[in-house]
Structure 1
């Protein structure tokens, strides 16, 4: 084999390995944490709301504020991680609110599947995206999409609180 071909293969192979490493690192850094399930206002006799979310510094901050704002309200809120949506029976809830992230131009596949499987149910969705956009958003989905920046925290708190408390 000619020396130039060997060098070219080594350079291309190295570039492919570096590219794959960068992509995996980016995916790992941007991946969401799994949150523990919890109940807010468990003894409330009002509506029962499912709030499915993910863990990140931004989302945790938003969720802490939402829980604080709704503490003591007559609304039972079950908070679960979006990775557990396949175990959720949507008919057990009066409302469903999803707080998720766009990764690789779309929301997680299990969230999309949950929405598709429960298309007869009114589902409110709030989406964070580094790009501030959800390009592949289905036309029939009512959602807000903002960047997960501290200046947008109150927008998400207000949106989630309104989705939970509105009749």
Structure 2
């Protein structure tokens, strides 16, 4: 009788541990979900101007990325740069109308979001593509060798670095 009771207690502990672990992992995943960015246009009047640099930024709606993009938008607003900010989920692989394409997303499950990996691989070596990724570990663990990426953790002390690197990429002709 005592043996049956011990087995039941052990099984109950195992079941509770599995449920608790699953709940924690579920909460962790949900807390890391990135929102869908709303389309924005900076310097709309420059859209059809040949003298303006045309930039598209594919990104996500998350406090860290929004803070950086707000700083980037302030800088760009005073320059001859036409910029569109689009949701990363709607990334287009046709770069022909852009001088610069910025991919600014988060690595989740070891990969960048949506179809961005396929687009990145399609445009390997294209100097108009800049890739800026956030990740808890600070690295893209499955990063292909031929892809030049700036990756770092989403920490406040990294926001200035992201802003400066994105602006430097946009300004580098």
Which TM-score tier does this pair reach, normalised by the shorter chain?
0.7 to 0.9
Alignment of 1:143-162 (within 5 A): 143-162=149-168
Does the alignment pair 1:103 with 2:105?
no
Equivalent residue, structure 2, for 1:134: 140
Q: Distance in 2 between matches of 1:121 and 1:28?
A: 34
Q: Which runs of 5+ in 2 are unaligned?
A: none
How many residues in Structure 1 have an aligned counterpart in Structure 2? 166
For residues 37-94 of structure 1, what are the alpha-carbon distances to aligned partners after superposition, in whole Å with 9 as ceiling and x for unaligned? Answer: 1111122222221111112211111100000011032121111111111x56333322
The CA RMSD over aligned residues, in Å, is 2.2
1:93 paired with 2:62, answer no
Give the Cα separation in 2 of the matches to 1:88 and 1:35: 18
| Structure 1 SS opposite 2:45 | coil
Between structure 1 and structure 2, the one with the greater Rg is 2
Q: How much has 1:34 moved relative to structure 2?
A: 1.4
- Is residue 14 of structure 1 aligned with residue 16 of structure 2? yes
Partner of 2:172: 166
TM-score (norm 2): 0.84
- Superposition deviation, residue 120 in structure 1: 6.5
TM-score (normalised: structure 1): 0.87
Q: Which runs of 5+ in 1 are unaligned?
A: none
Q: Which moved more, 1:71-80 or 1:113-122?
A: 113-122
Instruction: Identify the residue that residue 30 of structure 1 maps to in structure 2.
Output: 32
Conservation of the 8 A alpha-carbon contact between 2:36 and 2:61? yes
Q: What's 1:116 paired with?
A: 121
